[in-house]
Structure 1
Amino acid sequence: MKRMSQAFNNCLTHIKKEEELYMYQKKRKSLITMILTLTLVMGCLTGCGGGGSKGDGQSADAGGSDKKPVTLEIIRWGGGLPAQDDDIIKAEILKRLNVNIELVGYDDISDYINTVNTRIATGDYPDMFWVNQELLRNYSKKGLVMDLTDVYQNELSTVKDWLGDSLDMGVVDGKTYGIPVPISFEYCMSFIREDWLNHLGLSIPTNLDELYDVAVAFTNDDPDGNGKNDTFALTGNNGLRAFSAIFGAYGVALPTNSGALPSIYVKDGNLVSTVTDPDIKDAILEAKKFVDAGVIDPELFGNTGSQPVQDKAFQGKVGMTRIEWSLFAKDIHIEQAKAVNPDASWKPMGTIGGGNGKELDGEWQIGTPVHMFAIPATLSQSPEKKEALFKVLNYLSTEEGNRLVAYGPEGTYHQVNADGEVELINNDLWKKSDLQAYLYNYQFTGRGDESKYLIIRNPMSRDVIEFAAAQPRIKCLNGFVDFPEGFVASDAATFAEEELIKFIYGRRPIEEYDEFVKTLKEVYSYQSYLDAAGETLQSMGYIK
């Protein structure tokens, strides 16, 4: 009886008494007595169950079912998950869908990739697992993951409608294998100390000359007024991205992440990459001016992760930074900064002009999901599990299901007002709860309207979120391009990044730039990648 659905919870006590009486008298009662008892139970279900609400039409599947829950094992890169018994999202999905999700997260991505590779090599498949685009390509080419091309037209049509064109991120060789978790705008942006500007009688810079003057003043003119020469102008996480505003003034995209391939994008109707952009040399020479002036964080390439950047910024050592807003300007970061220096005022800084008139704020990889999942091909041999997984994915791709994994259970953590808008019931509950730290692990199909979601979750950061979402970006397309045979992306990416750093820091003369590109294309097979990009992106309509 414990597995009966919520439809008759109101009469559970009465049913239990009948069950106990029946079990006690089982050996002594006649067949007629048993039938009468069963009739009584069924009458209680009819009178007390009421049917319940179906919400968006997906959660009703669990209602009235006494079937044993289907258990799904899902593994992913991600952290913060509570113990299984303390996981309220797991409990809600079990209650609503009769599906028991055993979700395991790995904090370290290398540890995760080693684990998933080992499990797949030994045939120990989870029911769904996290992949990046490289893993998806490798597994799909070996036939190890399910081809979802036709599935999205049928069993996962709700997911298809929810994700729309984002499904292109999960395509390999013309077939769709991935379940992408898209992001609707680039998070990385520039921030500047407004109170330092005010102290020095300066304004937020809008062109390269003003940016240079502010950078020099932040480094040499005691912007914090402490009488010490202990500040510098510009830092960032992930290496070269600190120069994104400078390169953006020339419409040149720098890879957002260290170790990534040069960005691929369309400029003036032509397909280019960071290293083949016709304006790259001018951008490099401009960036070198800032390096030569001594205004760049001397530990820039040692800033692993966000913590060093946060520490330098909040402790008043730097006046401008390039970092994801979510690692710098969430409610919790604003409180941390104010705790160290209540007078510090960090403001978003927009695009910089003065280059070639492009004024773009860095790259946005529109073909790369923030997360992605794949289903092993072997799941087709377990129809019950496959049906249960599809039910979960479809449900999380409805307004009702997505609210659960975006804001927690309705009535406790959030509510929907009369205008249909989501409101957090108690923001303090969010801050004290572990829920906000692990909800993203369950967002297998994303979270709908990204800006709206982020503002609800981070109301103090509304201005920053809206600012980031509105910034004009260089739309980069690397995520759509498969690596050609023989092309070792990691080697090409490392070589390109190392050489760009040499040019920017004056360790290699700009006169050798063409020689560098020639080596990248020929020795590291980068030309084959450019050719593959041209063919793929032309077929997708990005270039003619």
Structure 2
Amino acid sequence: MSLPARGWSAVWLCRREHGDRNSTGTAGPPSRQKDTFDKGRQTNLSTKRSVQRSKAIGATTAAVLMLGGILLVAGCGNDKEGEPAASGSPAAGATAASSPKSNLPMAITASIYDRGTVPAEEGTYESNRWTKWMNEQSGVEVKWTPIPRSQEADKFNVLVASGQAPELITSYDRNMLSRFISQGVAQPIDEYIEKYSTSYKEYIKKHPELKPFVTFNGKTYGIASMRNTQAATMIWIRQDWLDKLGLKLPTTVDELVEVAKAFRDQDPDGNGKKDTTAIAMSNAYSAVLDDLFMARGGEWFVEDGKATLSFFTDRYKEALTLRKTLYSEGLVDKEYVTDKNWARQKQLWITGKAGILFDTFNNGPTVDFYKSQPDAKLTPLPPLSTKFGKNGYQEEVPNYLLTIFNKDMKNPEAAMKFVDWMLDKGWYNLSYGMEGTHYQLKNDIPVTLDTDKLKKEVSYASEYRIVHQQIMTPEFLLARAGSDPNDQKVQKAVGDAVTVAKSVKYRKDFPYTPAVDEFTDVSGQFQKKWDEIVTKVTMTPDLDAEWGVSQIRSEWEKLNGKAIDAKVQEWYEKNKADFK
């Protein structure tokens, strides 16, 4: 999610990516935001009319279509679910009957993140209600290849090496895709966009900010759409605990530490026992600590015009000092270092045993919490001041996923047709489900009918949205919640978090990881080393941040770090004009 992991490309493992821990059904477009959205929604609303017209076509028209060489895709006919009528091409898609590949089957293969969220009764990532629906509605048969999110690089490397990589390779990791491009795995797609696309071709013109992320060596290699919001991480705090103890919302890092001590010592849950943990944090989200000081581990910054790793700044030393203080003072759960899948963090949070949470901004931390703690009150914590100033919460890059075309793709026309369909209308149902089953429209807002049903039947579907036009605003979130009191609290909290996340700019000097082979070659090895050192400093009483930083810098030098610094500086000078 990029989310936020402690990795090189600052990909949020989170995000439930949005990041990475995607939380579907909590955000979407305000009414009538875009023409393409209207067309997609109108198709949904006019299903019965479409089906009736389809039946009226008759055998004669079908024969004409067959003679014309056009594949007629039969409609699903399930109008009670509000499904779009089947179509041989996207609403705004282009046909290319004269293409030498036009006689090929409208079929492609594509990757999808496997986060293990498809319920057994729903099927698998390869086959479920949504894979069947997409094939029927898009006119393109897609065979999906699941990619375990936590093993993405390893899985893709194996597939590429064996020649079994899918035709559409989708990832949040631009650096990995850049490597595939340099290895000749992918192909430029400027010609395909121009020849086969209508909707995406117009979309990319309206969003020039995406260009640096889809362009490599002057050519377009990637497909991408804008994120619904760039917000990523968040610190949540129990406002009801603050009120009970007569404490104010902390505004500085020092004040946060004092509040944490009060949560540890003053029985904020009122059970007469000293059994509360001040801060719930997992290994994945500990980078939020670094962000307070503009020093995320492994990130590059521009210091006096020079590309500089965070470890070579005084800011990182302060971040590591805070990390050690929280651990040694018993203000953070001692098991956070080994909590790599959020299990311990989540347990402490939803059972009401922690008062501060380092996590994501979206509804992941709030839904289960409010179910188990209905009388509690959460507040997203505004960015805190440090002696280096105030830094915002981590922001993701403007683009959502990035998708490249395998050089061995058989039918690029089918791929662009699927992209156009997804951008026009497919993303909507994959976000909100089916009208009348999962949502009902109120003032053009898809209001959830049953949160549990949505979570079970729709939450995993957003993984298939390689492009979308979803927009997130606090007003939309609250309107979407409907009348359910718990859902209203959740959506209000998330809306407040979006506002807080946008209140202070997050420092990100490099919009994406430098595409420097020398750096890529050692990044994994170096990350393992500095992660071990950070853990050792944090847990060992006799070691301090000064020692830890010196050790990390020494490890960098052993990997020929100075030469890599020079290469990254060269890359920065060449590309900085594109940084916005």
1:359 corresponds in structure 2 to 390
2:243 corresponds in structure 1 to 198
Report how far residue 130 of structure 1 moved: 2.7
Larger radius of gyration: 1
Contact 2:280 2:358 in 1 (8 A): yes
Superposition CA RMSD, Å: 4.1
Report how far residue 201 of structure 1 moved: 1.0
Given candidates 142, 153, 158, the residue that maps to 1:101 is 142
Q: What code does the residue aligned with 1:391 have?
A: K
Aligned mates of 1:337, 1:133 — CA distance in 2: 34
2:133 corresponds in structure 1 to 91
1:344 corresponds in structure 2 to 376
Residue 392 (1) aligns with residue 433 (2): no
1:406 corresponds in structure 2 to 431
Residue 428 (1) aligns with residue 470 (2): no
Q: Greater relative contact order: 1 or 2 (C-alpha under 8 angstroms, separation 6 or more)?
A: 2
Contact 1:153 1:160 in 2 (8 A): no
Name the CA shift for 1:202/1:477 in 2 (closer, same or farther; >3 Å): same
Contact 2:337 2:535 in 1 (8 A): no
Given candidates 322, 325, 334, the residue that maps to 2:358 is 322
Report how far residue 502 of structure 1 moved: 3.9
Name the CA shift for 1:462/1:201 in 2 (closer, same or farther; >3 Å): closer
Contact 1:185 1:364 in 2 (8 A): yes
Given candidates 272, 278, 289, the residue that maps to 1:233 is 278
Deviations along 1:281-327, one digit per CA (max 9) or x if unpaired, are 33433444333322121111122223321210121221111011336
Name the CA shift for 1:377/1:454 in 2 (closer, same or farther; >3 Å): farther
Aligned mates of 1:243, 1:127 — CA distance in 2: 34
Structure 1: unaligned runs, 5 residues or longer: 20-33, 39-50, 256-261
Aligned mates of 1:414, 1:284 — CA distance in 2: 46
Report how far residue 417 of structure 1 moved: 6.7
* Secondary structure at the counterpart of residue 475 of structure 1: coil
Report how far residue 496 of structure 1 moved: 2.1
Residue 483 (1) aligns with residue 509 (2): no
Residue 535 (1) aligns with residue 566 (2): no
2:24 corresponds in structure 1 to none
Q: What code does the residue aligned with 1:523 have?
A: K
Aligned mates of 2:287, 2:185 — CA distance in 1: 41
Name the CA shift for 1:370/1:432 in 2 (closer, same or farther; >3 Å): closer
Q: What code does the residue aligned with 2:166 have?
A: P
1:28 corresponds in structure 2 to none
Aligned mates of 1:162, 1:94 — CA distance in 2: 29
Q: What code does the residue aligned with 1:210 have?
A: E
Q: What code does the residue aligned with 1:299 have?
A: E
Deviations along 1:204-253, one digit per CA (max 9) or x if unpaired, are 111133212111111112111212111121231235x43635x445x423
Q: Which deviates the most, 301-310 or 214-223?
A: 301-310
Residue 519 (1) aligns with residue 541 (2): no
Deviations along 1:402-443, one digit per CA (max 9) or x if unpaired, are 43443345676567776xxx4215421773464422321221
Structure 2: unaligned runs, 5 residues or longer: 1-49, 68-84, 97-102, 482-487
Aligned mates of 1:316, 1:104 — CA distance in 2: 39
Aligned mates of 1:427, 1:269 — CA distance in 2: 53
Aligned mates of 1:456, 1:107 — CA distance in 2: 34
Aligned mates of 2:203, 2:525 — CA distance in 1: 36
* Secondary structure at the counterpart of residue 458 of structure 2: helix
Residue 273 (1) aligns with residue 295 (2): no
Q: What code does the residue aligned with 1:374 have?
A: I
- When normalised by structure 1's length, the TM-score is 0.75
Contact 1:167 1:180 in 2 (8 A): no
Aligned mates of 1:109, 1:512 — CA distance in 2: 31
Q: What code does the residue aligned with 1:126 have?
A: P
Aligned mates of 2:561, 2:396 — CA distance in 1: 19
Aligned mates of 1:346, 1:56 — CA distance in 2: 43
Contact 1:167 1:178 in 2 (8 A): no
Deviations along 1:310-366, one digit per CA (max 9) or x if unpaired, are 210121221111011336345xx2xx323433332222111112423x211343353
Q: What code does the residue aligned with 1:508 have?
A: L
1:292 corresponds in structure 2 to 328
2:76 corresponds in structure 1 to none
Q: What code does the residue aligned with 2:294 have?
A: V
The alignment covers a number of residue pairs equal to 483
Name the CA shift for 1:414/1:302 in 2 (closer, same or farther; >3 Å): same
Q: What code does the residue aligned with 2:524 have?
A: S
* Secondary structure at the counterpart of residue 362 of structure 2: helix
1:121 corresponds in structure 2 to 161
Residue 136 (1) aligns with residue 177 (2): yes
Report how far residue 375 of structure 1 moved: 1.4
